[in-house]
Amino acid sequence: MRLAIFQNTMDIQTPTWVKHAVFYQIFPDRFSSSQQTRKRLLKSPTWEKWDAPPTLQGYKGGDLWGVIERLNYLQDLGITAIYFTPIFQSTSNHRYHTHDYYQVDPLLGGNHAFRELLDRAHQRNIKIVLDGVFNHVSRGFFFFNDILENGPHSPWLNWFKIQGWPLSAYDGELPANYEGWDNNRALPVFNHENPDVREYIMEVAEYWIKEGIDGWRLDVPFEITVPGFWQEFRDRVKAINPEAYIVGEIWGNARQWLDGTQFDGVMNYLFTGPTLAFTAGDRVQMKYVLGPSYEPYPPLLAQAYAAKVQALLGLYPWEIQLTQLNLLASHDTARLLTIAGVEDGTTLEESQTCVELATLLLFTFPGAPSIYYGDEVGLLGGIDPDSRRGFPPEARWDRNLLSYHRQLIALRNSSPALQTGSYLPLYAQGNVYIFARILGTEKFIIAVNVGTSTEQVVCTVPQEILPLRSLVWCFGNAQVSWADTDGSQQLTLTLHPRKGSILRVEFNNIG
């Protein structure tokens, strides 16, 4: 259990700011609708009611002006980076059906609103990362629409994978005769073998980096298998901004993309699954997790969780580990509280402890933690589209959960060791998992008890943490003592049920 993860010697460069960032993922249609008078294309829009259950096609009217009006909230929470799901012009509330990569959707306020948001966010030292959907487009994308209008006479034929005529773009009674993502004819797939397509995508990526965005989150990048594509993407983006963040949506082992020549990190579902399986255990509602491929089941005890963590930390170079995008939920999963059983008989208090334990592990793990909008105030939601509910009004916020997040974020933001320190497992037995984060003289011990009874554990203090002079609880509380035994120091912790705690190791230098 005394395996430390230290800096990898490979010559890999990743963005420095990401290693210290706290991300907040925003689904733009559902986070905030501007309350101020703005110039809008639609004077009297018909929106789906904000508090009504979300539907596959309904819009609720969230916009980028609304995000601007909530920047105070995000800054007070401690957020230093925002990842937006797609914002470009589209005919879907989620905007993964791109019409125009150069135009922010007018329902969100258009390019003008985005540039104002970018400026306001940067004034607060908040970074902005956009979702790049470069594998497929929508039927309304001009180049594909030209094919629908002109058939084999269109000059854009080789931009897509056409298999026959006439194109069956809307008639579900006929088989689709062009390639659509996931066999969905609404999402024509680009022909990435075409050099013109490749150049077009590269220029889109460069354009928005030049406009000032701080990175790209890449949707289903594993679908683009043309040799050298992602290497060129990285080279061209980094030539403009070497600190731009490139993060891919890869749910499993991502080693082939994390070699230092392509992505800086991935959405780290390999952390998500085991962490939920450990902290929620048999409380996980299987009907909400069987679809997505991150598997927060079967329940894990501490020893099995420790093994998963060590395998994950051994998977990629350390420089990459520090720029992984760690998360507990996203627009593609159910909400944390719902996964933990709030709607199926588990009491709210029990589900809250699952969220709290998982969140503590999130903010003490190497990599950049990411909060899915609303999770910090107890927003519920099942699988898509239910996980994309409107951000709740303040009267319905879970204040205790919000305070819990604020404390952890503040601690992480002020503690270099929790951001980039080495990770050292100390104890993993039964329901108790204990580890340390170490950077120079700053040292933390993190202890989690996922069981329903008080646990007293004794573990040997490794050389990396010695000498102990005092231990200060900086989050949570428990009983702690230590003593010299047979030439080594033994740490005794008495941990409350379903609680996690963080201690700072303090010692006096002796001249």
Q: What is the amino acid identity at position 188?
A: P
Domain boundary among 382, 401, 417: 417
Average pLDDT rounded to a whole number, residues 387-396: 97
Same domain, 59 and 75: yes
Count of domains for the chain: 2
Tally Cβ neighbours within 10 Å of residue 241.
16
For residue 309, the Cα-to-chain-centroid distance in whole angstroms is 18
Domain boundary among 353, 382, 417: 417
Domain boundary among 359, 391, 417: 417
Contact by Cβ (8 Å): 62, 31: yes
Same domain, 432 and 413: no
**Among residues 214, 219, 319, 455, which one is catalytic?**
219
Does 202 map to a domain? yes
Contact by Cβ (8 Å): 452, 469: no
Contact by Cβ (8 Å): 262, 280: no
Does 8 map to a domain? no
Same domain, 223 and 107: yes
Q: Does residue 511 have a pLDDT over 60? A: no
For residue 452, the Cα-to-chain-centroid distance in whole angstroms is 29
Q: What span, in angstroms and rounded, lies between the C-alpha atoms of 100 and 102?
A: 5
**Among residues 131, 249, 356, 375, which one is catalytic?**
249
Same domain, 92 and 167: yes
Average pLDDT rounded to a whole number, residues 440-444: 94
Same domain, 438 and 378: no
Helices (H), ranges, 280-317: 302-313
Q: What is the pLDDT of residues 297-337, one digit of tens each?
A: 999 999 999 999 999 999 999 999 999 999 999 999 999 99
Q: What span, in angstroms and rounded, lies between the C-alpha atoms of 156 and 158?
A: 6
Same domain, 135 and 264: yes
* 219 a catalytic residue: yes
* 11 a catalytic residue: no
Burial class of 419 by CB neighbour count within 10 A (0 to 12, 13 to 18, 19+): buried
Q: What is the pLDDT of residues 236-254, one digit of tens each?
A: 999 999 999 999 999 999 9
Question: Which residues form the domain of 49?
Answer: 20-417
Instruction: Please tell me whether the peptide bond between 298 and the residue prior to it is cis, using omega within 30 degrees of 0.
Output: yes
Predicted confidence band of residue 6 (pLDDT cuts 50, 70, 90): very low
Cα angle for residues 21, 362, 72 (degrees, 5° grid): 45
- Give backbone dihedrals phi and psi of 448, rounded to 5 degrees, phi first: -130, 130
Predicted confidence band of residue 489 (pLDDT cuts 50, 70, 90): confident
Helices (H), ranges, 364-457: 399-413, 416-420
pLDDT at position 102: 98
pTM of the model: 0.95
Same domain, 491 and 395: no
Contacts of 420 (CB under 8 A, 6+ apart): 19, 20, 322, 366, 439
Which DSSP letter does residue 389 get?
P
Q: What is the pLDDT of residues 139-181, one digit of tens each?
A: 999 999 999 999 999 999 999 999 999 999 999 888 889 999 9
Instruction: Please tell me whether the peptide bond between 299 and the residue prior to it is cis, using omega within 30 degrees of 0.
Output: no
Same domain, 64 and 185: yes
Task: Please give the structure tokens belonging to residue 236.
Answer: 């061209």
Tally Cβ neighbours within 10 Å of residue 497.
13
Coil, strand, or helix at residue 111?
helix
